Chain A
């Protein structure tokens, strides 16, 4: 069966043909690429894990937490704003999931809308994080204490991932408009969705460790 172009199914609500039914060669390479991408996510998980365990070690071995600097105990981070910003990021995960589902169901317009919503929410999270940094830096420097170093390293690393994700999703948006992906060949969209969910889940751990624990 020939691959269907994007323009042909625009606006229709039919279920997409599964890639395995379309092109065995593509299906095989897709599975290999998927495995490679999942292994990349696992390696990224280990990368974050190393920093998280360093933070746990520093926190557990500290006599007081938050640490005392120049005779003053440092404040806790703002839980209320972090909870709101977390919901923004988790919401972007749901919109990205909707985007991929609409692509699979050949609703290109809805796909585009949900993908744009995801990008906007991702940018919103980054702006929220920048606001959070501006508040935290009044009390906690990134170079002065283990608390600040851990916080800015881990959340900064995560923020970088979100930034890369926003660029990735924007690229996907441009590519879909140019007809790079079809109803049966859309590995890039699957990988983008997995990456974005991964970024969400890493934030679950960071949100718990820095704001709730």
Chain B
């Protein structure tokens, strides 16, 4: 049965793949660009792709599965 949590994780999973792949493709397209704005944009796009990987891992319960310390 589709619980709200499963639905959220499914949407996060699909969305993270789409957004992450798009960010990486854009990063690759802009790789040769020069200038301060291009460098900062590349850095931020890369970090955003990392964020997508984190969201993806969270969606499949690899990270964020908590136990009280």
Taking Cβ atoms with an 8 Å cutoff, the residues of A that contact B are 31, 34-35, 38, 41, 64-66, 73, 76, 79-84, 86-88, 90-91, 93-94, 97-98, 101, 190, 193-194, 197-198, 200-201, 203-204, 207-208, 211-212
Contacts and interface: CB of A to CB of B under 8 A. Distances in A.
Given A65-B68, A79-B58, 16 more contacts: A41-B40, A64-B68, A65-B69, A83-B9, A83-B16, A83-B59, A84-B15, A87-B16, A88-B15, A94-B19, A97-B26, A197-B40, A197-B41, A204-B48, A207-B51, A207-B54
Interface string B43-61: 0110110111011011100
A81 to B, nearest CB: 5
Interface of B: 5, 8-9, 11-12, 15-16, 18-20, 22-23, 26, 36-37, 40-41, 44-45, 47-48, 50-52, 54-55, 57-59, 63-66, 68-69
Contacts, number: 115
